[in-house]
Amino acid sequence: MNRLLEKGPLVKGVNKTGGYTNICCGLGVDKDVPVRVAAYVVPVLQLSEQFPSAEIELYTATKFSARLNGLNRTDAERNAAVIKEYFNLIQDRLRVTRSPVGLGELDPFTANRLSLLNDWTRLLKNLAPTKVLDFANRRSGDDSLRYMGAHVLYMWDRVDISPDLFITDRRKAPESLLMVGGPAEKIFYDARRTICDALPIDYTRLTDQVFTEIGRKPPYIPIADEPTILSGKKGSRISYENLVGFPDPDVRRDALYLLASLSEALTFSDVEQIRKKGIKFDWQREALAASCAILKEIIGQLES
């Protein structure tokens, strides 16, 4: 990105002496890739300014997401590849990875991993808050609970298990890890805390969590008629009018932060004014149109 929004309420309450070795953000995949998914990068990069020595990682839970969101493996892998290329074109400091294994996929640790997730599913049924169980029951029942449990393995939570059971391409735990997620991730955090509170903890590791204003609706799951990357490459519904004028306020918020982060003209205060009062001045319109042109150029470069 050309610049970052100055510090604002996208990131709150992060003040750690000594910093973090890793700052991570996780994403799922769906049938298409929303243009606004790149908004998830904005608070992560804000944090990377605060902790400049940290390694920045984003990973896609490709194989779990495929199973739980009704995708075939080919489409899930394609969309994960699109996300990776999209993010790398926006900011080359990011390290974007995909989960090496998924539910039921054979690797040397499959049996132990599935056994662990089944144990955690039973644990969640007995101990999880009602809102976690209701969330799972509205979706895929036990499979959703397993997916919630798998977040412990994606996010290197401090459960005392073999490193081989974690579902990332890293074989060693980060020394100190900060996970970044939007409001929609809080339900998974509640499940993770339920599991971690019930299990022996490895206190040599540290996983912290921060929530941002981006992603009140998961930015990797398109809602009806939302501009997406694949549809954007076919025609072009990608315009600042379609993004910041979209009917859903959560999509508008994410899109506005994304466009502002690509602009040399817009500040965080400008974003707040546009959110509250709409576009009132020609220079705001011109700045958003210029950012949208950058975004369209990036998307036009995608090869996946």
pLDDT digits (tens, 9 = 90+) for 15-56: 666 678 888 888 888 888 899 999 988 888 888 888 888 888
Pinpoint the residues of the chain covered by CATH 3.40.50: 22-211
Identify the pLDDT of residue 100: 55
Give pTM, 2 decimals: 0.83
Pairing of strands 177-181, 207-211: parallel
CA distance 243 to 255: 6
- DSSP string covering 77-120, please? HHHHHHHHHHHHHH-TT-EEEE-S--TT--STTHHHHHHHHHHH
Query: pLDDT digit string (tens) for 139-162?
Result: 888 988 988 998 898 888 888 888
Query: pLDDT digit string (tens) for 117-147?
Result: 999 999 999 999 999 999 999 988 898 898 8
Query: pLDDT digit string (tens) for 224-275?
Result: 989 898 876 654 577 888 888 899 999 999 999 999 888 888 887 888 888 8
Torsion of CA 232, 77, 162, 148, to 10 degrees: 60
The number of C-alpha atoms within 13 Å of 105 and in the hemisphere containing its C-beta is 13
Identify the pLDDT of residue 78: 82
Task: Please tell me the least confidently modeled range out of 13-17, 111-115, 170-174, 196-200.
Answer: 13-17
Q: Residue 13: which region, alpha, beta or left (left: phi > 0; alpha: psi -120 to 50)?
A: left
Identify the pLDDT of residue 188: 92
CA distance 192 to 185: 11
Domain 22-211, what fold? Rossmann fold (3.40.50)
Per the prediction, the chain carries an average pLDDT of 82
